[in-house]
Amino acid sequence: MARAACRDADPELFFPITWDDRPGRADDEARSICRACPVRPACLDWAVRTGEPDGMWGGTTPAERRLLRARQTA
């Protein structure tokens, strides 16, 4: 957590009430923070393995993680 790029970011960027995947939306800003994060691979792996149901983790939305999990179990 100490190395997380989102450590001081606005939590609303990572946990919006609803997700809007259109370009230029808040999740783009969160993704851009995740892209520069040194712990992104570990963060994404944890979120996919635990089935984290909410928020932006490792640069992915909940729907994107569900897709990743489905591909891993196929």
What is residue 11's three-state secondary structure? helix
Strand partners of residue 57:
60
CB of 30 to ligand SF4, least distance (A): 7
Q: Phi and psi for 4 in degrees, rounded to 5?
A: -65, 130
Nearer to ligand SF4 (CB atom), residue 7 or residue 67? 7
CB of 70 to ligand SF4, least distance (A): 21
Measured between alpha carbons, how far is 73 from 71 in angstroms, rounded to an integer? 6
Nearer to ligand SF4 (CB atom), residue 20 or residue 45? 45
Catalog residues that contact ligand SF4 under the rule CB under 6 A. Answer: 4-6, 33-34, 37, 39-40, 43, 56-59
